[in-house]
Amino acid sequence: DTEVTQTPKHLVMGMTNKKSLKCEQHMGHRAMYWYKQKAKKPPELMFVYSYEKLSINESVPSRFSPECPNSSLLNLHLHALQPEDSALYLCASSQEGGSSYEQYFGPGTRLTVT
Amino acid sequence: GESVGLHLPTLSVQEGDNSIINCAYSNSASDYFIWYKQESGKGPQFIIDIRSNMDKRQGQRVTVLLNKTVKHLSLQIAATQPGDSAVYFCAENRLMDSSYKLIFGSGTRLLVRP
């Protein structure tokens, strides 16, 4: 199984809402990632978890709050978002967080903030 | 600043022809590179990777070439098919602040004409 799953596929939320994005993998990978992708742009790294600990935060605003409950799950909690946060949010995983491990991506959650 | 970039934003090829997508990188210390394919509405899909101790790597209908002297990476697709139509990203796994991060190029859209 080389699949990374993400839910929901689409999400529309108001600026005062609180919502969560979920990601799951069962490949035994120990590194998991959140990326943000705007239209016609490459993915941009937001957070990296390695062995369930946050190892990289790319200066992401605090209205995005990641959580890694266990080695298979990764959440992204959203609160008080802005319309410019509308984007495709991608989750990825890799065997380790080192230099030579390919990252497997999920299908993404298309987020629209109204 | 250092970056991974692509020379052509859009490439149009005839079905059955070979496609070549190019990528330039500027960090000579990077030692691992990946090509991803992203179809509309989907997450990036791993195609092929190459480490810096190699010049060439072949997969099924795809070949990646790495020229470290000029810091250039290319993806060759043989006998291009309609299903190859997508955006292709090169990515560099770069050591930054003691952590490895995947840095994507700007992407090339491949259009396959029937």
Measured between beta carbons, the chain B residues lying within 8 angstroms of A4 are: 43
Give residue-wise pLDDT tens across range B31-43.
899 999 999 989 9
Residue B23 in 3-state DSSP? strand
The set of residues, in sequence order, having a beta carbon less than 8 Å from that of A93 and lying 6+ positions away, is: A4, A25, A27, A29, A31, A32, A33, A103, A104
At B98, the pLDDT band (50, 70, 90 cuts) reads confident
Task: Report the residue of B30, B37, B57, B100 to disrupt the A interface, i.e. the one with the largest count of A CBs within 10 Å.
Answer: B100
Distance from the Cα of residue A67 to its chain's centroid: 10
Give residue-wise pLDDT tens across range A59-70.
999 999 999 999
Distance between CA atoms of A81 and A104, rounded to whole angstroms? 27
Q: Decide if pLDDT at B93 tops 90.
A: no
Distance between CA atoms of A41 and B87, rounded to whole angstroms? 10
Task: Report the residue of B102, B106, B108, B109 to disrupt the A interface, i.e. the one with the largest count of A CBs within 10 Å.
Answer: B102
Measured between beta carbons, the chain A residues lying within 8 angstroms of B86 are: none
Cross-chain Cβ contact B46/A102 below 8 Å: yes
